Amino acid sequence: MPDTQVRPGVPTDHIDWIAQAIVDYKPDVVIHLGDHWDFASLNSHEQPGSAPMEGQRYEADLQSGDEAFARLCGPMESEIARLETGHRKRWTPRKVFLTGNHEARADRVATNDPKWAGHIGSDNCDIRDWERHPFLEVVEIDGILYSHYFQNTHSGRPIGGTIVNRLTKVGQSFCMGHVQGLDIGTKLMGSGKTWWGFVAGSAYTHIENYRGAQGQRHWRGCLVLNEVDNGECCPMPLSLTYLSRKYTGLGLRDYMVRKYPFQQWEHLA
């Protein structure tokens, strides 16, 4: 699950669709790649007192993210409990949350100003019974490396470029969020093994103003990795448009226009 970037005032209908898809597909592992809590109130890229920071509140940011995460977990928790009764086959998925740079904003506040330690931090984000992994910790599952993003070992900056370049630098099959859109690629190794690279950083419907008018029409959705075995897999992207049709009977733009008629949704066309 790529970045969901929940904050007060943005639609979160798609969270319910993703939650139901998790129940329908029943994966062995559920992974959130981070940046669920947007924490716009802690955005260090904006000046204090500037228009984008007007009315922003940390407590509201935290609460909106908690509420959306509870909705994400609700159908899964109900289904797990249902299957535990009787003689049904149990479903016990591993649930992994990778802290993103937006959750890390809260940790940075406490690091830069220790009086907030214990009051502000990513530990306050209620991820329920999921595994919590610190920002940029790499988690390996069935031969695939997962992290919010992967760093260049010399500069510490995110590895960029093509998927093949990322695969070469990471040195193994990987999956990351952070970058909007979807980029999938492979690299066939001399051993006959295929490395897979996935960059998927957007599972939300709203506009991010900092990307400008031309940077909004990226892919939005989730990934299902089937037949995962020692780093190889068969990927199945689930766009939010597909999930909207599946669970509402309407395409994503049509649904959002009908549900939120006073907002602009041309970027979802």
Q: Is the pLDDT of residue 155 over 70?
A: yes
- Which sequence spans correspond to the domains of the chain? 13-268
Its CATH class, for the domain covering 13-268, is alpha beta
Average predicted confidence (pLDDT) for the chain: 93
pLDDT tens sequence across 220-230: 999 999 999 99
DSSP the chain: -----B-TTS--HHHHHHHHHHHHH--SEEEE-S--B--GGG-TTS-TTSGGGTT--HHHHHHHHHHHHHHHHHHHHHHHHHHHSTTPPP---EEEEE--TTTHHHHHHHHHSGGGTTTSSGGGS--TTSEEE-TT--EEETTEEEES--B-TTT-SBP-S-HHHHHHHH-S-EEE-SSSSEEEEEEE-TTS-EEEEEEE-----S--GGG-TTS-----EEEEEEEEETTEEEEEEEEHHHHHHHHHSS-HHHHHHHH-TTS--GGG-
pLDDT given for residue 52 in this prediction? 52
pLDDT given for residue 87 in this prediction? 67
Least confident span in 38-47, 224-233, 259-268: 38-47
Residue type, 63: Q
Which pTM does this prediction carry?
0.93
Q: Kindly state the average pLDDT of the residues 219-240.
A: 98
Residues 203 and 35: their CA atoms lie apart, in Å, by 10
Q: Within 13 A of 20's CA, how many CA atoms are on the CB side?
A: 12
Q: Which residue has the higher pLDDT, 192 or 49?
A: 192
Q: Is the pLDDT of residue 55 over 70?
A: no
The CB density around residue 23, as the number of other CB atoms within 10 Å, is 16
Residues 160 and 179: their CA atoms lie apart, in Å, by 10
Helices 58-84 and 13-25: crossing angle in degrees, nearest 10, is 30
Give residue 154's pLDDT band: very low, low, confident or very high (50, 70, 90): confident
Give residue 24's pLDDT band: very low, low, confident or very high (50, 70, 90): very high
Q: Which residue has the higher pLDDT, 86 or 243?
A: 243
